[in-house]
Amino acid sequence: MSTASPPPTRRTRFFTKVAAVVAVLALPVTGLVALAGPAQAAASATATYTKVSDWGSGFEGKWVVKNTGTTTLSSWTVEWDYPAGTSVTSAWDATVTSSGTHWTAKNVGWNGTLAPGATASFGFNGSGSGAPSGCKINGASCDGGTQPGDNPPTAPGAPSASNVADTSLTLAWTPATDDKGVKNYDVYRGSAKIATVTGTSYADSGLTKGTTYTYSVTARDTADQTGPSSGSTTVTTTGGVIPPDPGGKVKLGYFTNWGVYGRNYHVKNLVTSGTAGKITHINYAFGNVQNGQCTIGDAYADYDKAYTADQSVDGVADTWDQPLRGNFNQLRKLKKAYPNIKILWSFGGWTWSGGFPQAAANPTAFAQSCYNLVEDPRWADVFDGIDLDWEYPNACGLSCDSSGPAAFKNLMQAVKARFGANNLVTAAITADASDGGKIDKADYAGAAQYTDFYNVMTYDFFGAWAAQGPTAPHSPLTSYAGIPQAGFNSADAIAKLKAKGVPGSKLNLGIGFYGRGWTGVTQAAPGGTATGPAPGTYEQGIEDYKVLKNSCPATGTVAGTAYAKCGSNWWSYDTPATIAGKMTWAKQQGLRGAFYWEFSGDTAGGELANAVHTGLQ
């Protein structure tokens, strides 16, 4: 939900990935192991490589060039090789080019001259999991302290899991490279080495069902030198799921159909991250609302995309002639493994809410169209109900609506009547508690009697659509001194809905698995001025938690949420610690539970989903 004019990214469809623009000033992340670049002694200069941070889908690297000679260097060039699948995506303080898997970095104008003993550095963001090899500085080998003429192997690719069952799974990884050849690989489960294999796969067995394991791999060359570890992969075995108490707390996450494209996030990620065992509901987003009817959002992603065995929840590949593929089939497989999860098809959202006013003109016809689509025989068993995400009834969102204060109630009443008691009917609603704001524009209390629960979008209160600031947390739990707009916080929204007659037992607190940020900021505390939105992977002013936790760690908290200043960028986002505080508050308020937008912003190990889960127990 956004309370300002530009649309929040929660409601924007991403079908192509935009290259990230990375700030020149980046803070190194403590606690990460630096990887020395493989090297040999150089006559007058050295170059040393460090992996500054790694967020699973990418990493930040840094090279330091040092003049070890007795005369001044007028320029420098660093060269190295990456294995296939690893590449530089953006760089600063050097001009970086490539030819195939060979990479070359040349100094820029101001940092090429180095006096004896002086250093210069440059950094870059990359994708993939490989490590640099064959480093050269000005044509000579770099000095990395390895055995002359025999460098250790590079890191293999992070292992991927397939055929995940109750007590077994199969790992596979891309090979490492070595100048003399790779002899074998050591496979680790956690910190324990469990096998040494000559190939690039391993079948692990004797596991416990419903349990999360972490795997990594290192390569060993013919001289018995071991290289750096691969990235780690977290996998949760199937089974062992205990259905929650029917009266228990709601733990709901949004799964976006467009996430299978640039974000490369699939239903199977819910299993490998351990999240599937920690949720009660999934909202599948989004179906469209057109011509007064519910319609398909993305047919290819929804029910046509074919999944290979390693991509599939149960390790079984789709066939060309099976009646249902895509996300719907993967969700069906997920429900088989985790039968407690309820799945709702969510319609509308920021971009597709424009069809609701026409739908509200004939609620009965709209309800029938939605029922026909959700209960289509091809996928009727997948869904347990419907979620409506109208942004916003009788108020302004992406466009302005004047359907009247009763329109939302009438629509929910018709939908509940058609779907009946055996299906869930829910809605995502505004959290704008300002005087005369969006909560005041529609009869949310009247509609609540036809609604199993509301997902109150208690995020996107503030963001860089106000380009000059003031900086403010996008998801404050409470008000605070200097908040830019009264009523723009979770506590006020929940209190106002309760005051209008919506019981707390029908309200879920919203959590964003992302941050919002500005650039050009000099003040660390909230309330500073800015020059515009901070750079983000998919859109300016917004970034996933899994990136921010490493690239811009939290430096403070305000109003129950976290904020961070790194360089000239200022971000606000929730962390496991602030989520724990919000879940305690939600229980104190007697709320039904919590929900979050959306799964792919979490870490590979699902740490934010786990914080919601444990916080509501």
Instruction: Determine contact, residues 442/388, Cβ cutoff 8 Å.
Output: no
**pLDDT surpassing 70 at residue 190:** yes
* Length of the chain (residues): 617
Determine the pLDDT at residue 14: 32
What's 584's DSSP letter? H
Cα 290 to Cα 404: distance, rounded to the nearest angstrom:
20
Q: Which one of the listed residues 60, 79, 391, 543 is annotated catalytic? A: 391
| pLDDT: which is higher, 191 or 266 | 266
Determine the pLDDT at residue 68: 85
What pairs with residue 120 in β-bridges?
A: 65
Determine the pLDDT at residue 240: 54
**Residues with Cβ within 8 Å of residue 606, at least 6 apart in sequence:** 234, 273, 274, 275, 278
**pLDDT surpassing 90 at residue 70:** no
For 602, phi and psi rounded to 5 degrees? Answer: -80, 170
DSSP element (H, E) containing 127: strand 119-127
Residue 391 bears catalytic tag: yes
| pLDDT: which is higher, 448 or 55 | 448
In the CATH scheme, what is the code of domain 9-21+248-615? 3.20.20.80
**pLDDT surpassing 80 at residue 4:** no
Cα 79 to Cα 105: distance, rounded to the nearest angstrom:
6
CATH 2.60.40.10 domain residues, the chain: 160-227
User: Can the peptide bond before residue 392 be classed as cis, meaning omega within 30 degrees of 0?
Assistant: yes
DSSP secondary structure string, 171-225?
EE-PPP--SS-EEEEEEEETTEEEEEESSSEEEE-SPPTT-EEEEEEEEEETT--
CATH 3.20.20.80 domain residues, the chain: 9-21+248-615
Determine the pLDDT at residue 209: 74
Angle between helix 576-588 and 607-615 (nearest 10)? 30
Across 106-120, 300-314, 549-563, least confident range: 106-120
Residue 332's pLDDT band (boundaries 50, 70, 90)? very high
**Residues with Cβ within 8 Å of residue 40, at least 6 apart in sequence:** 140, 141, 142, 143, 144, 146, 148, 149
Residue 39's pLDDT band (boundaries 50, 70, 90)? very low
pTM: 0.64
**pLDDT surpassing 90 at residue 53:** no
Determine the pLDDT at residue 150: 59
Looking at the structure, give the CATH architecture of the domain made up of residues 160-227: Sandwich (2.60)
For 134, phi and psi rounded to 5 degrees? Answer: 65, 40
Mean pLDDT across the chain:
88
Structure tokens at 428: 């995502």
Which fold, 45-141? Immunoglobulin-like (2.60.40)
Cα 50 to Cα 57: distance, rounded to the nearest angstrom:
18
The arithmetic mean of pLDDT across residues 430-458, rounded, is 96
Determine the pLDDT at residue 239: 66
What pairs with residue 122 in β-bridges?
A: 63
Determine the pLDDT at residue 11: 38
Instruction: Determine contact, residues 231/216, Cβ cutoff 8 Å.
Output: yes
| pLDDT: which is higher, 603 or 220 | 603
